[in-house]
Amino acid sequence: MTALVDIRGLTRSFGGPAILSGIDLTIAKGEFVALLGRSGSGKSTLLRVLAGLDDAPAQQLQLPRRRSVVFQEPRLMPWKTVIDNITLGVKRQDARSIAEQALEDVGLSHRRNAWPLTLSGGEAQRAALARALVREPELLLLDEPFAALDALTRMRMHGLVFDLWQKHKPAVLLVTHDIGEAITLADRILVLENGRFTKEILVTLDHPRQRNGPEASRIEAELLTELGVEPSHA
């Protein structure tokens, strides 16, 4: 199978020691990959390269053309309505109708004419997801998109992202600090540490996944150890 993302020897530094030191990464079409790592380990740096927001030297950098990013903050234009935020920059003639569809997909049709500042945190992130989907990405890049949400909203967002992934089947790279989130959603979990991937775990559990089953608990303990947290302190 040919990889959608195929990166070899990716390096990035900002003057000091390399943040990414010769990383190799392949992501298959439709694969859901979660990326964990301590704060400052370079997760957002890697995601920015994948998004095309940062140049970094690599021996090989094969990326799909259609990529979308959702950040921790929704980054909506406050002077445009929700629907106008979603169609912004979309050149297709049917932009409006695919935006309506994307809003329906994220359960936000009733807020189509709302101003971004009147949205709740969860609604704003759903709008940001709709804006990403409208571009029909082959690669969806998510940089801690739920980190600022309360626990219940975050769990609902996990369900939504899973449903959207099942429906549209983009490859996903999800940066998160939430180990449970990674285990619930991802086919594969990577840990970034000292400029390299230090762990790769395939998650083969059936969906919907139980977070506290024996296999999930085993993976969680393995990841906590890798991230330098004693499982009993989590």
Ligand X SMILES: Nc1ncnc2c1ncn2[C@@H]1O[C@H](COP(=O)(O)OP(=O)(O)OP(=O)(O)O)[C@@H](O)[C@H]1O
Q: Can you count the helices (H) and strands (E) in the chain? A: 7, 9
Map residues 13-52 to x or -, x wherever contact with Mg ion holds by CB under 5 A. -------------------------------x--------
Looking at 41-49, 86-94, 99-107, 200-208, which segment touches ligand X (CB under 6 A)?
Answer: 41-49
Q: Which one of 37-45, 56-64, 85-93, 166-174 is the stretch in contact with ligand X (CB under 6 A)?
A: 37-45
Task: Determine, following the binding rule CB under 6 A, whether residue 37 of this chain makes contact with ligand X.
Answer: yes
Q: Which residues of 75-114 are buried (b: 16+ CB within 10 A; e: fewer)?
A: ebeeeebbbbbbbeebeeeebeebbbebbebbebeebbeb
Residue 149 contacts residue 121 (beta carbons within 8 Å): yes
Q: Which amino acid is it at 157?
A: M
> Cβ of residue 224: shortest distance to ligand X, in angstroms?
16
Which residue carries 């370079």 as its tokens?
42
Q: How far is the CB of 81 from ligand X (least distance, A)?
A: 30
What CA–CA distance (Å, rounded) separates 130 from 98? 10
| C-alpha span between 109 and 104 (Å, rounded) | 5
Residue 42 interface partner, choices ligand X, Mg ion, none, CB cut-off 5-8 Å depending on type: ligand X
Smallest gap from Cβ 73 to Mg ion, in A, equals 12
Residue pair 173/27 in contact by the 8 Å Cβ criterion: yes
Structure letter (DSSP) for residue 205: P
Cβ proximity to ligand X, 19 vs 76, nearer residue:
19
Is the peptide bond between 208 and the residue preceding it cis, with omega within 30 degrees of 0?
yes
- Per rule CB under 6 A, is residue 176 in the interface with ligand X? no
Restricting to residues 6-35, name those near ligand X by CB under 6 A.
14, 19
Give the residue from 191, 173, 181, 117 showing the smallest Cα distance to 147: 181
Helix H or strand E segment including 125: helix 121-133
Residue from 23, 33, 41, 124 that binds ligand X (CB under 6 A)? 41
- Binding residue for ligand X, selected from 17, 40, 78, 214, defined by CB under 6 A: 40
Residue 232 touches ligand X, criterion: CB under 6 A? no
State the nearest-atom distance from the C-beta of 52 to ligand X, in Å: 15
Using CB under 6 A as the criterion, which residues of the chain lie in contact with ligand X when the complex forms?
14, 19, 37, 39-45
